Amino acid sequence: MGAWGDLREVARGWRWGRRTLVPRSALRHTPSRRRGQFPTGWARTPAAKAAREVLLAYGLRPLVRNETAPKIHGLENLDGLEGPVIFVSNHTSHLDASLILTSLPRKWREKTATGAAADYFFDTWWRSVGTALVYNAFPIDRTGRGRGTTDAARMLDEGWNLIVFPEGTRSQDGWVQRFRTGAARLAVQHRVPVVPIAIRGAYAAMPKGRNWPRPGRLPISVRFGRPLQPEEGQDHRSLTRRMFQAVAELFDEDSTTWFEAVARAERGETPAPSGPDGPRWLRAWEASRPLPRRGRRPAWRR
Amino acid sequence: MPRPGFVLEVDERTPPLLVHEGEGFRLQRFPLGSRVVYPPDALPGIKDVGAAIRHALENPVGSEPLSELLKPGMKLTIAVDDISIPLPPMKTPDIRQKVLEQVIEGAARGGVDDVKIVIATALHRRMTADEIKRMVGERVFRSFYPRDLYNFDAEEPGALLEVGTTEEGEVVEISRRAAESDLIVYVNINLVAMDGGHKSVAIGLAGYRSLRHHHNVHTMLHSRSYMDPRPGRSAIHDSATRMGHVLRDNGVKIFTIETTLNGETFPSQFGFLNKREWEWSFKDQAMFLAAKRANDVAPPRLRREVWRRIEAPYGVTGVNAGETEAVHERTLANLYRQQLLEVDGQSDVLVLGVPYVGPYNVNSIMNPILVHCLGLGYLFNMYRNKPLVRRGGVVIMFHPVPWEFHQIHHPSYVDFFEEVLAETTDPKTIESKFEERYATDPWYIHLYRTSHAYHGVHPFYMWYWGAHALDHVEDVIVVGGDPRSCARMGYRTASSFRDALEMAGDTVGTGPSVTYLHVPPLAIAEVR
Amino acid sequence: MSLALELYRSIPRYLAARAIGGRAPGLVAGPLAPIRLVNRRDPEPDRPGWARVRTRLSGICGSDLATLSGKSSFYFSPLVSLPFVPGHEIVGELVDEVDGMDAGTRVVLSPVLGCLARGLDPCAACSAGLTGRCDRVALGHVSPGLQTGYCRDTGGGWGRIFAAHRSQLHPVPDPMEDRVAVLVEPLSCAVHTAMRASVGPEAEVLVVGAGTIGALTILALRELTQAGRVTAVAKHGAQRDLARRLGATDVVEPGEAMNAIRRATGALKLRPERGPSFLLGGADVAIDCVGSKSSLDLSLRATAAGGRVVLSGIPVGGADLTPVWFRELEVAGAYTGGTEQVNGEARSAFDVAIELASAAPLEGLVGAVYPLRDWREAIDHALAAGRLGTLKVAFDPREG
């Protein structure tokens, strides 16, 4: 038949460029495709790591700095800390992972992997490859039917830091939702410290529904907190509460001052990061309030 | 979770399907509505095979543990299946090597001195030293070859002992050495349901006088099929059972060790040959294209060499030892678990892709008679209850059927093809007119005993193996077959599948129902 | 919050799909489609007469595919409100109870959002029961949207939950399977088409296209009119078999259709220097169930003078209208079912459709069902459905 003939037969028979189909009578015997299963090991090879470093340092970081005005606080909390750690943060925007990765010092960044929703980021091969390459992402099954993630445990054992968003999804209104227990579970099982991060202003800059930051270089504050060590016999639920409290305190510190925040924390009066009680419009209104701009006014006013 | 076998119905969404044709393969589109029989997924192999063997030897069924049977001063004969199994040859270490090593270790510990290892070739060709070494492993080879490890010679004067006669008058004559031993340990691989059981010793270590009682046209016509060894279904197995009982009743003690393999037939480079077509990943499709191109352009010798070197990464699904019938029952259960599936009804046309290797051309050439044996013999008979094709239907096979014979391995085949088939293709006539002469021809016997040739009568058996098929179907059409060799065998040839279906229309009409048996990996169809 | 496929505004995608979608359908089902799987807020019916419905099955219609491939006319732009969840061929079950129907009732949806659904006083058309001709589909308290499946507020079939007004809901008799019930909406359109065709006794009818719409139209013609010969034009084998089963007298391939009508009616066939041939004489009624340029040409050119051409599929390709003038043809559009005059009595097209569906051999029309997550596979399959031997592809949003 000749090489071209064979190629044509295969291309037509397996519907290249389109989706392969299963014959009707074989449907019963074909396991349904499990979405979100994507091997990401290749993204942790030296070649991929080098490519990622270039992409993050010379691509993503300048881009984030150009489109928004991020300010990073609290990196001194990472001094003397031994990896691996789990970074947990509130989640309001697709900017969050980019902000965290580009804020981390290189030593931390090159050993960090991001947990990304399997059903969203790993549904097609090109999105999977992009996410894995740039963010060193691994799939997390958040439908509740799967096993959450098995990669995370293995990577912690291999010494990778993880970025996990315990809310499981971006907040609708900018305030912090209930934390799921997966991150705490991992921390307790593998006895790794948890570094809380609070990101304020990302919701105003690029909320859910937008894929590009709003114009105007809106300020965003990324604040790293003191690492939480899982105590002896601590169970994941109490660790989750500690994480939530830590993020709340960071929010408070960020919106007021450190001194006031510590005092309030002592008194147990840290305002809840889950936002004001009230109608939906009020919550969205308060969450999207732009942060006060510190530093010089931009020359061009928009 | 290995999935069961199933029958595909070809629809618009079905990609073209893989069909083996000798040392090659193609993608073939089948008409809508054709049925395709797929074997079950490969079962997982046993992880610790050594432990499984040990367990079987120490906890046999229907017998004392092997260690108790091996005593000092006894005469022990270990018989081993020959090179005709498994297909393709198993990746080393062969399972027989592992079993042998443990049996011999037991013999050594038991203080047995008189140990002979006989390769149960019956009238097959002698295995070469290299082939034997590959099968039994270096350690066994070095310790036993050539004096205590040898091929069975059925024509050696005085080498056979007549043990008795069955109630049907069948002479039971096996290797004298084996019959006079205190214990025969048989190391078997059950690749298809035909193997094993009483057939191992009663046929594997027998000579022509015994074999003619069941290796004949009448028995073949009444073996429906010989892949279904249940009593009353397969005349050849009934005969073997009778002979086995004669052996047992006359004090021949046999400790049978049977093993079964899973469906991992092709190595991972050719993984697409094991998989269902619509599940081929992009990599599989690319591998197919590359392999096909390389195969098509390769010079014939290189191509043959590449195919010859294929080693199957078989996993072992079971090891059972002890009394022959009890063991064989378990063996068959394991085998059916891997190969059996149900098919609803027969069809007008059966399509077979004949692969490159059969039991009698390992490291050799598949001559036209062996194509007949593999296609109309073994593959046609991979059924229980009823054949996949109805009586009076058509078989369409894919194979180039080259007019090519291996001069050393198959000398009698050449003459059979030139002389016997030129005159008639009817098995009964061939049997009555020619068999005796070929079976007793001294030249063939000489080659069988000293060279590496199949016995003079062997091509006859190959022809009889397809007797049931020849009786059952009306027409045989070979796609891509050499017209001369096919004509000699009474087949018709077509250059494409479409033409073959059109030719089949003469017999079964236009728009016939088609079933394609998608093997290898092997599958047995229980046809309702 | 539940899962739904949402069609959103994306100019670049629209342009790209329009430009190359025809040649690379694989891309239309992938990166070019302006559609995404989202977790959407469930519609909250806050007015009386509205209820939430959980989708059990929702079909993919030719109009949906035209929208995704950028072929849909801009005429519709004020009649839809982006972003919306597509899907108007729906069988579902009520989540809330509403006026005389308990929660859990299995229902099919009449998708038109007419005056009643919009909380307006009925316009003349709605009063006469011809909801398809409602003049107010862009007004009222519901966002503009000619049907559920084109409206931002209501949601649609390609999502887990949508909202419907009582006037849109019809209960499904228990013995009817979901896979047949999902065909009731297209069947009601076919019923309406058959009535619009004004088929006289023993008329010669040409049905162009034997996809779902064409096949169901043949069924409706046979059951409800006194049509004589029905010639069906079908491109693919599976469609031809179905057309025959449902009662077409003669089934031909597109290339042969003109000749077949010519032979059947003894007409004269003429060949212009440019453009397809036409007949002087021909069918009494032609029904175009495809809407492409070639199907429209065939319908207009194979109809006898004074005959009737019914456009059942949205005409996306322009055709030469000369035969309409020269042969004094009546061209009628058939949009969606309302109240029909069937055998002298006024009945709702939906009721007639449910009756027909209970008796007709419609199992197997829905050839493939996909969960929402596999929407790319579903769209890809639907785009090539005819060739793949499938008639209708549907979504089942209930699975994961």
What is the pLDDT at residue C227? 92
Nearest by CB to A19, which of C29, C367, C373? C29
- Full DSSP string of C240-263: HHHHHHHT-SEEE-HHHHHHHHHH
Give the pLDDT confidence score for residue B338 in this predicted structure. 94
Residue A31 falls inside a structural domain: no
What percentage of chain B exceeds 70 in pLDDT? Answer: 100
Interchain proximity B6–A9, CB inside 8 Å: no
**SS3 label, residue A138:** strand
Q: What is the mean pLDDT of residues C139-147?
A: 88
Token pair 């040959």 is at which residue? B273
In a domain, residue A8? The reply is no
The two structure tokens encoding residue B208: 């022509």
Q: Which residues of B touch C (CB under 8 A)?
A: 11-13, 32
Quote the number of domains for chain A.
1
> Of C9, C32, C39, C369, which to mutate for an interface test with A (greatest number of A Cβ within 10 Å)?
C39
Average pLDDT over residues C318-347: 91
> What pLDDT is stored for residue B308 in this prediction?
94
Q: Best residue in B7, B21, B27 to probe A by mutation, most A CBs within 10 Å?
A: B27
Does the beta-carbon distance from B288 to A10 stay under 8 Å? yes
Asked if the structure places residue A249 within a domain, the reply is yes
Strands (E), chain A: 68-73, 86-89, 112-117, 137-140, 161-164, 194-200, 218-224
Tokens 């409706």 belong to: C220
Identify the domain containing residue A239 by its residue range: 41-291
Q: Return the DSSP state at B377.
A: I
Q: Are B416 and B489 in contact (CB under 8 A)?
A: no
Query: Is residue A27 in some structural domain?
Result: no
> Could you give the CA distance from residue C363 to residue A58 in angstroms, rounded to a whole number?
59
A147-155 average pLDDT score: 72
Walking along chain B (528 residues) 10 residues at a time, the average pLDDT comes out as 91 94 95 95 94 95 94 95 94 95 94 95 95 95 94 94 94 94 95 93 94 94 90 93 95 95 92 92 92 94 94 95 95 94 95 96 96 96 94 96 95 94 94 94 94 96 95 96 95 96 94 94 94
- Distance between CA B320 and CA B330 in Å, rounded? 7
Q: Alpha-carbon distance C229 to C199, whole Å?
A: 11
Q: Which of C24, C373, C384 sits opposite A35 (nearest CB)?
A: C373
Give the pTM: 0.80
**Contact status of B7 with chain A (Cβ, < 8 Å):** yes
Residue of A nearest to C24 (CA): A17
- Chain C's closest residue to B12, CA to CA, is C388
Using DSSP, state whether C43 is helix, strand or coil: coil
Q: How far apart are CA A170 and CA A116, in angstroms?
A: 12
User: Mind telling me how many Å the CA of A28 is from chain B's nearest CA?
Assistant: 10
Least confident of A109-113, B502-506, C210-214, C250-254: A109-113
Torsion of CA C141, C145, C150, C152, to 10 degrees: -30
Let me know if A257 is exposed, middle or buried by CB neighbors in 10 A (0-12, 13-18, 19+).
exposed
In a domain, residue A1? The reply is: no
Note the pLDDT tens digit of each residue in A168-226. 888 877 788 888 888 888 888 888 899 999 998 888 888 877 778 888 888 888 999 98
C-alpha span between B476 and B426 (Å, rounded): 14
Among the partner residues A3, A13, A20, nearest to B293 by beta-carbon distance? A3
CB-CB under 8 Å, C237 with B32: yes
Q: What ipTM is given for this predicted complex? A: 0.79
Question: Which residue in the set A17, A143, A169 is minimally distant from C26, CB to CB?
Answer: A17
Structure tokens at B221: 């016509």
CATH value at residue A77: 3.40.1130.10
Instruction: Give the integer Cα–Cα distance in Å for A133 and A59.
Output: 13
- Find chains touching chain A: ≥3 CB pairs under 8 Å: B, C
| Touching B: C residues 359-398, CB under 8 Å | 387-390
- C273: exposed, middle or buried (Cβ count in 10 Å: 0-12, 13-18, 19+): exposed
Burial of residue B16 (number of CB atoms within 10 Å: 0-12, 13-18, 19+) = middle
Q: Please identify among residues 208-247 of chain C the ones whose CB lies closer than 8 Å to any CB of chain B.
A: 237-238
* B13/C388 Cβ within 8 A: yes
* CB–CB contacts below 8 A, B to C: 10
Q: Tell me how far apart the alpha carbons of residues B32 and B47 are, in angstroms, rounded to a whole number.
A: 42
Chain A residues inside the 8 Å CB shell of C373 = 35, 119, 123
**A103 within some domain:** yes
Residue type, C128: A
Question: If you measure CA to CA, which chain A residue comes closest to C26?
Answer: A18
Taking 60 as the threshold, does the pLDDT of residue A1 lie above it? no
- Token digits of residue C135: 């003049």
> Which pLDDT score, from 0 to 100, does residue A144 have?
59
Q: Is residue A3 part of a domain?
A: no
Place of tokens 């279906």: B501
Dist CA A191 CA A85 (whole Å): 9
- How high does pLDDT run on average in chain C? 90
Residues of B in contact with A14 (CB under 8 A): 15, 278, 280, 285
Q: What is the largest CA-CA distance in chain A?
A: 83
Instruction: Quote the pLDDT of residue A183.
Output: 83
Residue A173 counted as domain residue: yes
